[in-house]
Amino acid sequence: MPELPDASALPSRLTPRQFDRWNDLATASADADRDVIAPFTGEAFAAAPESMPEDVERAVADAREAQSRWASRGFDARTDVLERFHDLVLDRREELLDVMQLETGKSRGDAYVEVMDIAMTVRYYATRVADQLASERRRAALPGVSKARVHYDPVGVVGVIAPWNYPLTLAIGDAIPALLAGNTVVLEPAEETPYTALAIVELLREAGLPHDAFQVVTGDGATLGDPLIERVDYVSFTGSTAVGRQIAAKAGEELVDCSLELGGKNPIYVRPDVDVDTAVDRAIGAAFSNAGQLCISGERLYVHEDAYDEFKTRFVDAVGDLDLGTEYAYGDSIGSLISQSQLDRVQRHVADARDRGATVEVGGEARPDVGPYFYAPTVLTDLPADATAACEETFGPVVGMEPVESDADAIREANDTDYGLHAAVFSADVDRARAIAREIDAGSVSVNDGYVTSWAATDAPMGGVKDSGLGRRHGPEGVKRFTEQQAISTTRAVPLDPVRGPTSLEAKVLAVGLKLWRHVPFLR
């Protein structure tokens, strides 16, 4: 068994015994374990169980055995469990916030967003899932003669492969509709953040979810990914485009359906008619929330030349005033990067930009005085198009800013990327901003907000185009992806013998009938 963490290395609300309890919730039979690092200190605070491929096999088998019993409970009973989970998440929020901060190094405010997101997601699906998955009458081949209905059945066992940047939201957010649809779930969290996932298991079981209906395998993603995809009935993945391609290839090989939310190089466009103070404040939120480690954060900032000078001055000054900190309390604006490798990535991008002639307006340096992986919020100008920071996802507190001459130029620049996850447009003319948004190649666009209103619109689908992914989360689309659709057609009479075919007279009658149907609205 993994050794218990030293109490002195933990936030005051957490105890070594809690980690011992959480370790027991992982599906892991080997004696191996893996150190988990606290980004605030750069030191290991605990050792989590290391699951092996055989543990994945066991977890999926147990989840499969539990699935029919869970599905048979019906929507009302399943909803009751998830609503109790909703209340437990809110009641235990301080403990969850501590675990998330301990594992990710994010600020408490950024962690709190995840708690609120889960509450909103549960409330949305709990009140709508029965209607969203109710059997539907569809237009039949011959109105009055035949009928067609579509039924939605759970797909079976859903595998969720979650990243480290939002370990609560992205571990359970997709599992919520999957569970409510009658599926069971096997979660593979990022190796950096196993304890947030295990804390979720504890709350779900306390809420009444059968023990085998939601399981967690912890450890190395490269080791566990293929065995999981080979055994589950659906894969939900959030992460990098490079890994997403591997997931999609493996899922295709297994003929397993999947949804993939992948990387982004998201643009922000500021029109000349904006209130500059408001636009600066919201652009900062778009670019630097969660230290920029957010797939829908803005990394490319385009400002109309008529507003550029004023916006640049205020934006750079405001970014320079952002605070960094390691407190397990509300107040700090920017937290830590997750790891040394992430810090190295950010430093490479900024160094490459400098070498290619970009100007660092503010930031541009690591902040070891705050913590080992902290990096100062950074604004780059004069960024060449071929610089790494201009065309690849940095996933850190770095934004490139440049002027544009017109709306058309902004749209062209926004679309000059292989990615298409999210975008933002700021303008006093909302109708014009919406028209611009329609021209941007992105799965979602926020008007007069960085990303919060898009993400929080739980009834609207969220996902990417181009290299930013496949499928959608949220909305009816976010739960129907976890179902198999069955169509049942019935008829009172068969108008044609499919073997004999129509007679000459029947063929003429049918042709006339089809032409008439085109002019009868309720038959179309």
**Sequence-separated (6 or more) residues with CB below 8 Å from residue 7:** 15, 16
Cβ-contact 378, 316 below 8 angstroms: no
Annotation says 261 is catalytic: yes
Write the DSSP string, 126-187: HHHHHHHTS-EEE--SSTTTEEEEEEEEE-SEEEEE--SSSTTHHHHTTHHHHHHTT-EEEE
3-class secondary structure, 302: strand
Among 413, 454, 455, 447, residue whose Cα is nearest residue 431: 447
Q: How far apart are CA 464 and CA 484, in angstroms?
A: 23
Q: How deeply is 352 buried, as exposed, middle or buried, from its count of CB atoms within 10 A (0-12, 13-18, 19+)?
A: middle
Is residue 401 within a helix (H) or strand (E), and if so which, with residue range? Answer: strand 398-404
Q: How far apart are CA 87 and CA 122, in angstroms?
A: 10
* Catalytic member of 50, 258, 295, 402: 295
* Catalytic member of 103, 114, 261, 361: 261
Among 452, 356, 337, residue whose Cα is nearest residue 400: 356
Beta bridge partners of 136: 150
Amino acid at 481: R
Q: How many CB atoms lie within 10 A of CB 354?
A: 15
Amino acid at 271: R
Annotation says 258 is catalytic: no
Crossing angle of helices 108-132/93-104, nearest 10°? 120
Q: How far apart are CA 12 and CA 372, in angstroms?
A: 21
**Sheet containing 157-161: which strands, arranged edge to edge?**
214-216, 184-188, 157-161, 234-238, 257-261, 469-470
The two tokens of residue 512 are 């006339």
Query: Cα torsion at 134, 215, 464, 193 (round to 10°)?
Result: 150
Q: How deeply is 85 buried, as exposed, middle or buried, from its count of CB atoms within 10 A (0-12, 13-18, 19+)?
A: buried
Q: What share of the chain is helix, strand, coil (3-state, %, to 5)?
A: 45, 20, 35
Cβ-contact 184, 157 below 8 angstroms: yes
The dihedrals phi and psi of 126, each to the nearest 5 degrees, come to -60, -30
Amino acid at 373: Y
Known catalytic residues are 261, 295
